[in-house]
Amino acid sequence: MKLFERGKIGTLTVKNRIVMDAINIQLGSPSDEAALGQRAIDFYVARAKGGVGLIKTTFMRTNRKLELSIGGPVVNSTRSGTWLNEIAEAVHDYGAKICVQLTIGVGRIPVPNPNLPHGGLVAPSPLPSFRGPAGEVPRIGPGRYPAQGERHVITRELTIEEIEELVRDYEFSAKIIALAEMDAIEIHAHQGYLLDEFMTALWNKRTDKYGGDLEGRMRLPLELVAAVRRAAGPDYPILYKYPLTHYLEGGREIEEGLEIARMLEAAGVNALTINAGCYETYNLAQPPTTQPRGNAVHLAEMTKKVVNIPVICSGKLGYPELAEQALQDGKVDFIGLARYLLADPEWPNKVKEGRVEDIKPCVGCHEGCIGRVRKNHYCSCAVNPATGVERELAITPAEKKKSVLVIGGGPAGMEAARVSALRGHKVTIWDKGNALGGNLIPAAVPDFKDDYRLLLEYLRTQTKKLGITVELEKEATLELIQQANPDVVFVATGASHIIPEIEGTGKGMETGKVIAAVDVLLSKREVGEAVVVIGGGLIGCETALFLAKEGKKVTVLEILDSVASDMVWGNALDLVKLLDDNKVNILTNANIQRITETGVDFTNQHGEEKTLEADTVTIAVGMKVNNEGFVETLEDNLPEVHVIGDCVQPRRILNAIWEGYRTARVI
């Protein structure tokens, strides 16, 4: 496979074509917040051991003089070389190379600090911050993506003296990085952060030498390239990451992006990392499950046609056949993966060994990576709880082998069974359905949720491979469990749809006019041509999109003032855009009054009563715990009972997988 052919980036030889792209891991040292600690070393070693050719670190700063409120690792003294070298030596043991992603700052993007002038935010020019003073992101509503909030902090424009100081600091940091035996530096100019703002006319309104035409806007980037070259030496590999286009009105267009590529090559850059987007188009910069696979390959292909240096492409390329084909077709030179290597650090080794069915897939939910980082938690992964805590959450053999009964074969139950079996326990799953999967089955039905189908297939495959006994169409009772006499019982019975007490709902369900969203996805009832979906959260929006793609005329009624509010920003952004593209009508501030034989009566934000005609009404207002009271009965009569997943509280795939994994790890 071309994936496993050696590649060159300047003077650097990489053992294969797989690059771990940079991702904010938030795994700092407990004793020094400016340094990366042992958890970060463990994190990078796991990916090096897993077969990655080149690893890019989380982005590192050159100083905190200007962005005082922003944390993260900083390379600003000779002491930084100590922990940098520890990381380098650790990954080199496994034949991997490592590249520091170095940034000058994040510009208008972070949450403003109300205790600092201008919120502590600096930019090329005075700009509205992306987030409002309280940290809120632009609201998502029908036809309003992206939409700025009403209140903003205005950034302070950097002075020429400050820009010159940034260049000097960059040069100093580059020297420390090279001396620490890191293999390369990538200049971070991605996603609408500070350097990207300098490059882009939409955000750079300067009239001095650092603004104006493209030559002026590229002055700072080219000065940084020269600074790295002076500090690290004439042969030191320099990479540069930027979006070829922002897909944003007023942002960078593709032709300008290609001209930038030519300028960077002429300046001595050794490789380019290409994708797309910025925070306003975050769904393209950090593509969720609803984005097409390989969503930036065409941009990398365009770039390759205008430069002779290697092009690394990132953006939903964690599918082995797709990655290999992109390389074979000459569209890219290296495959950039980030979240896929959070989900499974062994991705390269498993592909090389032909064990593709054993790859734990990223589902593009962003709950464990971006979602956790937004809460100031360490970066992890919804389907791999050990990410970021590889040493602490390693699966180890059980001291005492036990018989384990898992009641419920959804994602929480299957993960608990998988980890229990890996630890040497004898495991049985009982499920009252006719197939393993639980609510993951309907979740994986829409074509835009194919990543969830991969997760479902992975969990079912591992269940078979590990010799776990599965008994389907078997409903658990206390008597049956006592007869089986397990040492440990996991209760993972999941959740079912809430059916609200709205006038006409009961009669509608009897006649088939009213259908729960899960039954729509499973095609249990016939759906008419005109459909009203009650509920505009994740389930409601996904069901509405599924129906619209089936050719139905769909309206979503949501009681709140925005839809998809229970989702990570980029995922919500993409889903709402798809709803709009598929002509789904979205009505917010809608209070349902009754369901009638002809449709739905509701009141709008002005208290006016309105009527929507509908052949079918789909309910998607939330989930409720299954088997309430059953858990207490088991806990009162059995020696060891663990309750996991949605039957604790209906939540996300992250909660199901994490509770199954973490609990099974310690029984």
Q: What is the pLDDT of residues 316-336, one digit of tens each?
A: 999 999 999 999 999 999 999
Task: For 55-86, write each residue's pLDDT tens digit.
Answer: 999 999 999 888 876 788 999 999 999 999 99
The mean per-residue pLDDT over the stretch 570-581 comes to 94
In whole angstroms, what is the distance from residue 140 CA to residue 275 CA? 24
Burial class (CB in 10 A: 0-12, 13-18, 19+), 174: buried
In whole angstroms, what is the distance from residue 332 CA to residue 166 CA? 32
Tell me what pLDDT residue 153 has.
87
Sign of the torsion formed by the C-alpha atoms of 15, 21, 25 and 31? positive
Task: For 268-312, write each residue's pLDDT tens digit.
Answer: 999 999 999 999 999 999 999 999 999 999 999 999 999 999 999
Look-up of token digits 């009772």: 477
Look-up of token digits 């097409």: 292
Q: Is the pLDDT of residue 479 over 90?
A: yes
Lowest mean pLDDT among 30-34, 277-281, 498-502, 652-656: 30-34
In contact, 87 and 108? CB cutoff 8 Å: no
The mean per-residue pLDDT over the stretch 487-505 comes to 94
Look-up of token digits 């069901």: 543
The mean per-residue pLDDT over the stretch 14-27 comes to 97
In whole angstroms, what is the distance from residue 345 CA to residue 210 CA? 41
- What pTM was computed for the model? 0.95
In whole angstroms, what is the distance from residue 12 CA to residue 2 CA? 18
Q: Is the pLDDT of residue 540 over 50?
A: yes
| 583 three-class SS | coil
Which tokens go with 431? Answer: 């499920």
3-state helix, strand, coil in the chain (%, to 5): 35, 20, 45
Lowest mean pLDDT among 345-359, 561-575, 635-649: 561-575
Q: Is the pLDDT of residue 144 over 60?
A: no
Binned at pLDDT 50, 70 and 90, residue 148 comes out as very low
In contact, 225 and 269? CB cutoff 8 Å: yes
Q: Is the pLDDT of residue 106 over 90?
A: yes
Binned at pLDDT 50, 70 and 90, residue 134 comes out as low
The mean per-residue pLDDT over the stretch 206-217 comes to 98
Tell me what pLDDT residue 250 has.
95
Q: Is the pLDDT of residue 598 over 50?
A: yes
Which tokens go with 137? Answer: 């992101």
Q: Is the pLDDT of residue 597 over 90?
A: yes
Tell me what pLDDT residue 554 has.
98
Catalytic residue among 44, 170, 193, 210: 193
Which tokens go with 645? Answer: 């997943």
The mean per-residue pLDDT over the stretch 219-229 comes to 98
The runs of H, that is alpha helices, within 206-280 are 214-217, 219-232, 254-266
Binned at pLDDT 50, 70 and 90, residue 113 comes out as confident
Tell me what pLDDT residue 629 has.
86
Residue 208 vs residue 64, higher pLDDT: 208
Task: For 157-170, write each residue's pLDDT tens digit.
Answer: 999 999 999 999 99
Binned at pLDDT 50, 70 and 90, residue 138 comes out as low
Tell me what pLDDT residue 108 has.
94
Tell me what pLDDT residue 379 has.
97
> Which of 274, 277, 215 lies closest to 246 in space, CA to CA?
277
Tell me what pLDDT residue 147 has.
42
Instruction: Establish whether the linkage from the previous residue to 146 is cis, with ω within 30° of 0.
Output: yes
For the chain, what percent of residues have pLDDT higher than 90?
Answer: 90
Tell me what pLDDT residue 357 has.
98
Q: Is the pLDDT of residue 571 over 60?
A: yes
Q: Is the pLDDT of residue 649 over 80?
A: yes
The yes-or-no answer on residue 378 being catalytic is no
In contact, 294 and 315? CB cutoff 8 Å: yes
In contact, 57 and 100? CB cutoff 8 Å: yes
Tell me what pLDDT residue 19 has.
98
User: Could you give all domains of the chain from N- to C-terminal order, each with its CATH number?
Assistant: 2-362 (3.20.20.70), 403-496+625-664 (3.40.50.720), 499-621 (3.50.50.60)
Q: Over the chain, what is the mean pLDDT? A: 95
> Which of 509, 513, 504 lies closest to 532 in space, CA to CA?
513
Tell me what pLDDT residue 146 has.
42
Tell me what pLDDT residue 544 has.
98
Instruction: Return the H-helix or E-strand segment holding 38.
Output: helix 38-49
In whole angstroms, what is the distance from residue 96 CA to residue 93 CA? 8
Long-range interactions of 35-40: CB distance < 8 A, separation 24+: 35/73, 35/80, 35/83, 36/73, 36/83, 36/87, 37/83, 38/391, 39/378, 39/388, 39/389, 39/390, 39/391, 40/87
For the chain, what percent of residues have pLDDT higher than 70?
Answer: 97
Binned at pLDDT 50, 70 and 90, residue 140 comes out as low
Tell me what pLDDT residue 385 has.
98
Look-up of token digits 């003294």: 77
